[in-house]
Amino acid sequence: MEAVLSAGQTQPVTLTAEELCRRYSASVCRFAAIVAPNTGEAEDLAQDALLRAIRAIDSYDPRRGTPEAWLWRIVVNASRDAARRRQRMGWLIDRIGLITPRETDSVETLALERLRDADLVAHLRRLPERDRALLALRYGLGLDTGEAGQAVGLSADSAGKAIRRALARLRARLEVSFREP
């Protein structure tokens, strides 16, 4: 079970399951840590995503894009399915109403200064599934909007807008939590 990867590389590289894990497991784990609701589920998601990628390794076609784009589509689909399983059973459904984002930099800056990373991740994990995936791809993995969009089935332009909306929703949450006693 292996695939020849040549996109973006001068020499074709044969990617085995071991190579795929070696190259990408850290990034997949980072993505999972952002989108999953807790560390236990993050581990399950990372495992599931990598297993799916290994099972599909023969289907990778270098003519259709980079190995990273192929992999992130699989990883995002795995996270989407995991979210669907959770949603099916009606748990972790956050019914907080959508708050109109207000751009108040001073409040945001103040809130961010006081906010621990763990709290920021907690707020991030309460965002809708697609928002989490986009922010994880864009900021957690450092993909550009085009690459992030490709993974979730959006154009670069639409992905940029979706990321801005996701940021606005996150800001709104931070602002509410900051204003609450």
Binding site for another protein (CB under 8 A): 1, 17-18, 21-22, 25-26, 28-30, 32-34, 39-44, 46-47, 50-51, 54-55, 80, 83-91, 93, 95, 105, 108-109, 112, 115, 117-118, 120-121, 124, 128-131, 135, 139-140, 142, 167, 170-171, 174
What are residue 14's DSSP bridge partners? 4
Tell me how far apart the alpha carbons of residues 89 and 115 are, in angstroms, rounded to a whole number: 31
- Residue (40 or 181) nearer to another protein, CB: 40
Amino acid at site 171: R
- Residue (62 or 165) nearer to another protein, CB: 165
Q: Residue 96 has which token pair?
A: 């907080």
Tell me how far apart the alpha carbons of residues 144 and 167 are, in angstroms, rounded to a whole number: 15
Minimum CB–partner distance for residue 46 and another protein (Å): 5
Q: Residue 49 has which token pair?
A: 């995503």
CA dihedral sign of residues 64, 35, 54, 87: negative
Minimum CB–partner distance for residue 51 and another protein (Å): 5
Tell me how far apart the alpha carbons of residues 171 and 169 are, in angstroms, rounded to a whole number: 5
- Residue (7 or 22) nearer to another protein, CB: 22
Minimum CB–partner distance for residue 20 and another protein (Å): 9
